[in-house]
Amino acid sequence: MDDLKLFASSRSHLVELLNITCDFSNSIGMELGTDKCAVLHVERGRVANSEGIDLSMPINIRTLSEAETYRYLGMSQNIGVDEAGMKQSVCDVFYARLTKVLNSLLSGVNKTHAYNGWVMPVLMYTFGILRWTQTELNALDRKVRTIMTSHRMHHPRSSSSKWLHDRGSAIREGTVVVVCDEHLPPLQWKLARVHAVHPGSDQVTRVVTLKAGNTIFKRPVVKICPLPLE
């Protein structure tokens, strides 16, 4: 077992929980890796300075300082998640993996599979944990296009993302669209067909009715992207 986190309302309660954890680990023949453990004391929303914790057995767990972070489920944390540091670290790994795939001798199809299965999950893991702004995502998109262009995997004069343009005039009944879902990564967004358009008094379409299988629902045009089928 890895990445265990204990919460307690007081120091004595924490010692009690740690002793229970140590006893349970010993009973199943496992050892508590205290060299990777640390204690973080928080008082009124701030890190408090205190001594380490001594357990009933000869084990001492050091205290984490305010400037230090610990890694839990792949995320660097202190009181909260270090978003700025994690974003930079994730982007570095993402760009390194992307470059490694593009430099490989794989075929185009296998490079796509490698991107979907090895490169993109680095970012997908952080969705819902780190708060990515639209500006950061746009910068990420530009950097990916630049890297792919330099490796002859993307045409330098290819059309820019259709998400950056007005879609209302291009959407009509029967148009196939990608439906944006903020709770899913982009690679898992679903396809749907426009069932009906609903122009306003100014004849501008801002809401459409979509049909995906037997499901009919409405979405604003800013949450869909038409696909060119011609």
Q: How far apart are CA 106 and CA 115, in angstroms?
A: 11
pTM of the model: 0.55
- Whether the predicted pLDDT of 66 surpasses 80: no
Higher pLDDT: 10 or 174? It is 174
Higher pLDDT: 28 or 92? It is 92
Query: What DSSP character marks residue 119?
Result: I
User: Which of the four pLDDT bands, split at 50, 70 and 90, describes residue 83?
Assistant: confident
Do 61 and 4 contact (CB within 8 A), yes or no?
no
Do 212 and 190 contact (CB within 8 A), yes or no?
yes
User: Which of the four pLDDT bands, split at 50, 70 and 90, describes residue 45?
Assistant: low
Tokens matching residue 19: 């002793």
Query: Distance of alpha carbon 37 from its chain centroid, rounded?
Result: 26
Count of residues making up the chain: 230
Q: How far apart are CA 112 and CA 219, in angstroms?
A: 30
pLDDT on residue 147:
92
Task: Identify the residue whose tokens are 């969705």.
Answer: 127
